[in-house]
Chain A
Amino acid sequence: MEWLSVKQLRDKIKNSEISSVTATKAVFKRIAKIEPTIGAYISTFEKSALDKAEEVDKRIAKGEPVGKLAGVPVAIKDNMCTTFGTTTCASKILENFYSPYNATVIEKLLAADAVIVGKTNMDEFAMGSSTENSGLKRTINPWDTSRVPGGSSGGSAAAVAGRLCYASLGSDTGGSIRQPASFCGVVGLKPTYGRVSRFGLVAYGSSLDQIGPITRTVGDCALMMNVIAGYDPADSTSIDEKTAPVPDYLEKLDEPIRRLKIGTVPELNAGSDSDVQKAISGAIEVYKKLGTEIVEIEMPHFDYAIAAYYVIATAEASSNLARYDGVHYGHRTKNPKDYIEVYTKSRAEGFGKEVKRRIMLGTYALSSGYYDAYYLKALKVRNLIRGDFTKAFERCDCIMMPVSPTTAFKIGEKVDDPLKMYLSDIYTIAANLAGIPSISVPCGFDENNLPIGLQILSPAFSEDKLLRIARMLEAQTDWHKKKPVIS
């Protein structure tokens, strides 16, 4: 049963072939067994999950209408606010923080009758690429317990790959959905900026953050998007549906795009491991056989993406994280001398190393005298990168490249070298800077049997098309059917 897709399980629950309670109990049984190894969850909600499952089962028994995710156990990254349990962002500073409100996506999941199993581990405040920056616990990769699950949504990806839930939500500021999806052999979509409400998502880099699904199949990704996409009056940066209507992402999913033109950037791919290169080429071969055209494109400003990203994201983070000061909520230092010490000590004790590093970087970049040289310049680079994409999409429908230059690396391998860690985001951050959607879809394995993801990028608000393109590969390959063996 745990191998069913969201859609399959949902249909079986709706048809009363399987009860949601049975499915939910099975998930918790598996959590009891495997979670100690994987460490995907920061918190789980067995009681409220079973209550919800029971309620959905009852409504189905009575013939009442149920939502699009009726009775399906799902997980959410612990940076989305919930009125149940804590919302920690995997930080000591929010370890005991209880949100008084639900994020918009949580309301949407609940309205769709999803059963929320738990909240997943992540890099603290979503800052990281391996989930090793969690201030609360360690998560491993279900494919290899000595390796990282990727990050920052490592818990969400590991939970889906490890069958500790059927689907999950992650957040992606510079690759935080796609990279762990790629490392864990599942599907991860970062939607267009503004497509999914950020209200209730604890902000890291506000102009880059976007919530998206992590699932086992492209179809489940489309189904999750049907639930979470749309305008939210509480988020001024979400796009109204008159400007960009929200389609039914499942409707034409199995229809291949005719006369598809795929853009590739050969010199970019050259920067990744040979196994990764091979897998990407292999995927493109699959598309070629389907009669698509391959266009070589140029991304002249791609090289500057990492630099621009780490200025913009950290600048915004330095401001976004200013509120964690020990005054209103969260960790407060014991016996402060004065209010200045409430700030300095609470923050020194509550934040981890990487968070402090990024706050300092961002504070510096925004300081008077440096603003023009760093922040303003980064914004200019951002515009140039947007321009690169606009130009590229005049010649092709989508762009394909690796998600990450490597497969999942060893735990501890890069923790002492932040720059090396930052470089693992090289392929993913451009989509965030440009605000365009991007998906990671399984496309092979390396010599160590570690999954590899193909990244597909498409123009803003073309998620429907993007999902169809990803589905074309999935329909032709069995990569997504391979299962990690965890004892």
Chain B
Amino acid sequence: MSELQYKVLVGLEIHVHLCTKTKMFCGCELSFGEEANSRVCPVCLGMPGVLPVMNKQAFEYAVLVALALNCEIAKFTKWDRKGYYYPDLPKNYQISQYDLPLSANGFIEIPLESGKTKRIGIIRAHLEEDAGKNLHATGNFSQVDLNRAGTPLLEIVTEPDMNSAAEVRALAEELQRMVRYLGVSEADMQKGHMRFEPNVNLVIIKNGKEYKTPIVEIKNLNSFRALERSIEYEIGRQLERFLESGEVMEMGNKSTRGWDDVKEVTILQREKEEAHDYRYFPEPDLVPVELTEQWLKDIKSRLCELPIKKQMRYVNEYKLSDYDAGVLTAERATGEFFDEVVKADGEPKRVCNLLTQVGLKLANEKGCSVAELGVKPGALAQLAKMVEAGEISATASTTIFEEMVKTGKEPEIIAKELNLIQKSDAGELEKIVEQVLSENPKAVDDVKSGGKKSKKAEGFLLGQVMQKTRGQANPKVVSEIISKKLS
């Protein structure tokens, strides 16, 4: 058998809907799920005589994302018309950006399973308008819904820097988290707010010689799972195909395949890269955009700490687990609330536990963010301190947190009201311990004899004390007393 190694190369073309108030070039509100053709006007319908007017908010959102992607931001950018005929494209050209995009040459850091990050190059990010949707009803006709036509769309093109399906998924999820942090997109893949079109091929080394398989573009991916699975499938398919036919990349043999979500296979859509001639030329109805220093500064001021940075900070500074840091940074509101509680002197690990184990559950039940639970950062920090100081048990902290959300009372007050303050008075506890020891001579013997049974017996004795104190004894103090007495 010949020696064979291969490397996967994936680049992505990404489209992100920006959640501006109105469409890219007209005053229509953005639409999701409204009655067909109810969110349209002469401009987005491409009626004769209409002219586009640029949505400034969309431009600013796009620049914000480009900044977060570490791109170079163009001081001068213009619009171009991309011509092609399709029924969902009312003007039969799309207003896009061709040779002078608003940004280029950036990168995004994506988290890897190892807990490290990887840098993926961004070739460019530019703004354009989305098309409508063709509806293929039964019968001898099709219909067009133009509600979506003119929705601001940010196109991001990455370098082929991803080397596995997992990395592609990581990038997709990271980008979703990023644009949600920035508040510029709902980024819901199912709703088509975010669309990924991976370009996949392999570099195969066989008998010391290098071969590149033809590039395949995958379409019709409606979930992160589909994105990941389709690439996994495609890797296998391309490898098999290469071994069968030896076919390698040539000019014009790029193909497009559609993902079948049910059969979990990619299906050939277009054999050869069609000789697309979009006849780009500068859009004469719009003036170029000149981004002044001041304007750029204003946009920059709206940046926030990006999720990946936050996550890494939690791991490095607070020694949180990568998993916990990921949970806390999944949504901007959670991370920011966590930061505030820590700032109010909450011990990070305790605060993390309170939020991940209790806060997020409560927020989820209420359908709000943890910041909106009505608990002040200072109060939660106080709760964390009480756990830390052993004043209350971890179990009690859950109850108190829940009560804080319900009543808005301070944690100390709730603890007292519900009698959840742990008994730490050594003198009082010693009496109870003595009583328990005298009642359980066998266990005492087991502890004293050491060995296997010792640990179990010690736990049993502690449990008995806790039972007698109705859980209000500080287990740490009790343990100390027991060890002292039996040593």
Contacts and interface: CB of A to CB of B under 8 A. Distances in A.
Interface string B260-303: 00000000000000000101110011110000000000000000
Contacts of A101: 42, 47
Interface in A367-404: 367-368, 371, 375
B93 A322 contact: yes
A232 B144 CA distance: 31
Interface in B15-63: 42, 45-54
B386 to A, nearest CB: 59
Chain A binding site: helix, strand, loop or mixed by DSSP?
A: loop
Nearest to B146: A328
A236 B48 contact: no
B177 interface: no
Given A316-B284, A322-B85, A81 B49 contact: yes
A343 interface: yes
B192 interface: no
Given A206-B285, A236-B287, A323 B277 contact: no
A236 B289 CA distance: 11
A80 interface: yes
Contacts of B281: 315-316, 319, 366, 371, 375
Given A236-B285, A323-B91, A198 B51 contact: yes
Contacts of B229: none
Interface in B439-464: none
B48 A323 contact: yes
Contact of A99 (B49, B52, B81): B49
A342 B48 CA distance: 19
Contacts, number: 96
A410 B91 CA distance: 38
Contact of A199 (B50, B81, B93): B50
Contacts of A103: 49
Contact of B48 (A89, A366, A375): A89
B83 interface: yes
Interface size class of A (residues with CB under 8 A): 35 or more
B101 interface: no
B92 A322 contact: yes
A325 to B, nearest CB: 6
B142 interface: yes
Contacts of B258: none
Interface string A80-91: 110000010100
B90 interface: yes
Nearest to B287: A236
A292 interface: no
Interface string A351-376: 00000000000010011100100010
A363 B51 contact: no
Contact of A233 (B49, B50, B53, B142): B53
Interface string B175-203: 00000000000000000000000000000
Scoring A207, A316, A323 by chain B CB atoms within 10 A of each residue's CB, the highest score goes to A323
Nearest to B281: A366
A447 to B, nearest CB: 42
Given A236-B287, A328-B46, A319 B142 contact: no
A316 B283 CA distance: 9
B98 to A, nearest CB: 11
Nearest to A315: B281
A200 interface: yes
Contacts of A100: 42, 47
B378 interface: no
Given A323-B92, A368-B279, A202 B285 contact: no
Contacts of A79: 49
B284 A322 contact: no
A97 B85 CA distance: 21
A45 to B, nearest CB: 19
B408 interface: no
B252 to A, nearest CB: 15
B475 interface: no
A217 B46 CA distance: 37
A413 interface: no
A11 to B, nearest CB: 33
Contacts of A363: 279
Nearest to B87: A327
Contacts of A201: 49
A368 B278 CA distance: 8
A237 interface: yes
A255 interface: no
Given A206-B284, A339-B142, A367-B277, A236 B52 contact: yes
B42 A367 contact: no
Given A319-B93, A322-B91, A99 B48 contact: yes
B279 A97 contact: no
Nearest to A207: B284
A285 interface: no
Given A327-B87, A367-B277, A368-B277, A237 B48 contact: no
A363 B53 CA distance: 25
B49 A328 contact: no
B52 A323 contact: no
A103 B53 CA distance: 15
B90 to A, nearest CB: 6
Given A94-B48, A328-B46, A236 B90 contact: no
A327 B85 CA distance: 11
Interface string A83-120: 00001010000100101110100000000000000000
A235 interface: yes
A475 interface: no
Contacts of A316: 281, 284
A203 interface: yes
A104 B51 CA distance: 11
Contacts of B48: 81, 87, 89, 94, 97, 99, 202-203, 323-324
A416 B324 CA distance: 79
A203 B93 contact: no
Given A99-B47, A101-B42, A236 B92 contact: no
Interface in B50-108: 50-54, 81, 83, 85, 87, 90-93
A234 interface: yes
A97 B284 CA distance: 25
Nearest to A194: B287
Contacts of A235: 51
Contacts of A315: 281
B285 A234 contact: no
Given A101-B47, A236-B285, A319 B81 contact: yes
Given A206-B284, A325-B85, A325-B92, A234 B46 contact: no
Contacts of B91: 322-323
A366 B80 CA distance: 12
A100 B50 CA distance: 11
A328 B132 CA distance: 12
A329 interface: yes
Nearest to B82: A319
B46 A323 contact: yes
A363 B279 CA distance: 8
A348 B113 CA distance: 59
A236 B83 contact: no
- 10 cross-chain pairs, A with B, having the tightest CB-CB distances, nearest first: A322-B92, A206-B284, A207-B284, A366-B279, A202-B48, A200-B49, A81-B49, A202-B49, A323-B91, A323-B46
28 contacts: A79-B49, A81-B49, A87-B48, A94-B48, A97-B48, A99-B42, A103-B49, A199-B49, A199-B50, A200-B50, A201-B49, A235-B51, A236-B51, A236-B52, A236-B54, A237-B285, A237-B287, A316-B281, A322-B85, A323-B91, A325-B92, A327-B87, A339-B87, A343-B85, A367-B279, A368-B277, A371-B279, A371-B281
Given A237-B287, A343-B85, A363-B279, 14 more contacts: A99-B49, A101-B42, A198-B51, A199-B50, A233-B53, A234-B51, A236-B286, A237-B51, A237-B286, A319-B81, A323-B48, A323-B90, A329-B47, A371-B279
Interface of B: 42, 45-54, 81, 83, 85, 87, 90-93, 142, 144, 277, 279-281, 284-287
